[in-house]
Amino acid sequence: MARHRLPRLLLLPVTLTILILLFLSSSPPPPPPQPPIPCGAAPSDATAGRWVPTPSPPPPPLYIQSCPFHRNAWNCLRNGRPPVAALSWAPSRCGGAVVPRLDPAAFLAAARGRRIGLVGDSLSENLVVALLCALRSGDGGARKWKRRGAWRGGYFPREDVVVAYHRAVLLAKYTWQPVENSKPQSDGIKGTYRVDVDIPADDWANITKFYDVLIFNTGHWWGPDKFPKETPLVFYRGGKPIEPPLGIFDGLKVVLRSMGSYIEREVPSKTLKLWRTQSPRHFDGGEWDHNGSCVSDRLLEENELDSWFDPRFGGVNKEARLVNSAIWEALVGTDIQLLNLTYMSEFRADAHPAIWLGKKDAVAVWGQDCMHWCLPGVPDTWVDILAVRILHYFKQGKG
């Protein structure tokens, strides 16, 4: 036996050399196969597709009027609105299939021990309510959770999952500064809101490392409805007023860039960072305070979308696409991915709370609500898309 061993040992360096040479001369090995991207998880799945009737038999609803996470004004069934049509989103890529509905128990199991946070304005809240109510059907022990500055949230004990929303309507920190009484104001200004473009609002400044998935939005407060000329926004950087002063839309652009780089820097790279684009409004016939209405059960046709939303036509709902172009410019090249739900939502003029707001005088005071969405309704489809995207991210071994 010993006679054979020696020549074999001598062969070893030769074999190794040949192997190394082969390795160096051959092209790099192919990357390991990626799991196929499930329907709904590709970013383009939300931006190319159409609404179709939910394949029958439609599954029973994941939640009803009594879900404890509801916010009254969006609980349209309780408020007497006829149910929103049961429609599903069929992405062009999926060959006729629709984005599968969230399986709450399976989602919670896959998200075991994880935390999902949303940060932004009430449209993020609209989305989180849909997500909380849906997930609750997968864990009856779900309870409210409002720690770490969360405005609304839930804890799902079976799989130890947290889902919460942090209210930060401008994302950046802003503070009310009344004018001093001694100074007479000829211009009618009652005070200003100081926006520190480089400082995140307290509500989320400290949670950047707490969550495994973070979904941001801002956009609906950047207009004269919220900040009229008597109480304008004034932008500061490094503690000093920005000179010359910025108008509100330029201020938005600066805040988007600055918050984008804060998120890139402060949120760990293994965290899934998403930015939800604008939710379109559907005020027909006038602004919210000029009898704008969305009492409708008709979806818009594809060829109507531009006349409703293209800023070139100057309609009352042009805000969404305007803000979106600022979001795109600010975030391109960062590690924050867009969750572009605008296009699919533009069709859905049929799905807002409108006059069914649950309070007698709400419409007289506030006008119709053609901005938020009924629940159940369109945000459930947002949830389905968000869920497949999150699960795909986890399955790739990220997060």
Ligand X SMILES: *[C@@H]1O[C@H](CO)[C@@H](O)[C@H](O)[C@H]1NC(C)=O
CA angle 373, 165, 49 (to 5 degrees): 45
Q: Which stretch binds ligand X (CB under 6 A): 101-109, 227-235, 324-332, 375-383?
A: 324-332
| Euclidean distance between CA atoms 389 and 339, whole angstroms | 9
Q: Among 38, 42, 47, 234, indicate the residue that binds ligand X (CB under 6 A).
A: 47
Q: Is the peptide bond before 28 cis (omega within 30 degrees of 0)?
A: no
Nearer to ligand X, 107 or 204 (CB): 204
Closest CA to 386 of 133, 128, 150, 164: 128
Nearer to ligand X, 72 or 92 (CB): 92
218 part of the interface to ligand X, by CB under 6 A:
no
Nearer to ligand X, 277 or 317 (CB): 277
317 part of the interface to ligand X, by CB under 6 A:
no
Nearer to ligand X, 221 or 275 (CB): 275
396 part of the interface to ligand X, by CB under 6 A:
no
Nearer to ligand X, 154 or 292 (CB): 292
Q: Among 73, 127, 150, 338, indicate the residue that binds ligand X (CB under 6 A).
A: 338
327 part of the interface to ligand X, by CB under 6 A:
yes
| Euclidean distance between CA atoms 253 and 355, whole angstroms | 33
Minimum CB distance to ligand X, residue 328 (Å) = 4
Nearer to ligand X, 160 or 289 (CB): 289
**Contact (Cβ atoms closer than 8 angstroms) between residue 390 and residue 111:** yes
Minimum CB distance to ligand X, residue 289 (Å) = 6
Q: Is the peptide bond before 376 cis (omega within 30 degrees of 0)?
A: yes
Nearer to ligand X, 202 or 250 (CB): 202
Closest CA to 162 of 196, 139, 188: 139
Q: Which of residues 190-209 bind ligand X (CB under 6 A)?
A: 202, 205-206
Q: Among 277, 317, 368, 381, indicate the residue that binds ligand X (CB under 6 A).
A: 277
**Contact (Cβ atoms closer than 8 angstroms) between residue 256 and residue 195:** no
**What residues does 116 pair with on adjacent strands?**
163, 213
Closest CA to 276 of 87, 50, 47: 47
342 part of the interface to ligand X, by CB under 6 A:
yes
Nearer to ligand X, 277 or 279 (CB): 277
324 part of the interface to ligand X, by CB under 6 A:
yes
Q: Among 193, 262, 328, 394, indicate the residue that binds ligand X (CB under 6 A).
A: 328
**Contact (Cβ atoms closer than 8 angstroms) between residue 115 and residue 162:** yes
| Euclidean distance between CA atoms 272 and 260, whole angstroms | 14
146 part of the interface to ligand X, by CB under 6 A:
no
340 part of the interface to ligand X, by CB under 6 A:
yes
Q: Which stretch binds ligand X (CB under 6 A): 59-67, 167-175, 334-342, 374-382?
A: 334-342
CA atoms within 13 A of residue 124's CA, in its CB half-sphere: 32
Q: Which of residues 66-95 bind ligand X (CB under 6 A)?
A: none
Tell me how many residues contact ligand X (CB under 6 A): 14
Rg (CA), the chain: 25
| Euclidean distance between CA atoms 272 and 111, whole angstroms | 13
Binding to ligand X by CB under 6 A, coded x per residue (else -) over 288-307, reads: --xx----------------
Amino acid (one-letter) located at 84: V
Closest CA to 269 of 337, 363, 178, 341: 337
Closest CA to 198 of 157, 241, 155, 143: 241
Minimum CB distance to ligand X, residue 299 (Å) = 16
Q: Which stretch binds ligand X (CB under 6 A): 154-162, 176-184, 322-330, 381-389?
A: 322-330
Phi, psi of 46, deg, nearest 5: -80, -20
279 part of the interface to ligand X, by CB under 6 A:
no
Helix (H) or strand (E) holding 273: strand 272-276
Residues that bind ligand X (CB under 6 A): 47, 202, 205-206, 277, 290-291, 324, 327-328, 338, 340, 342-343
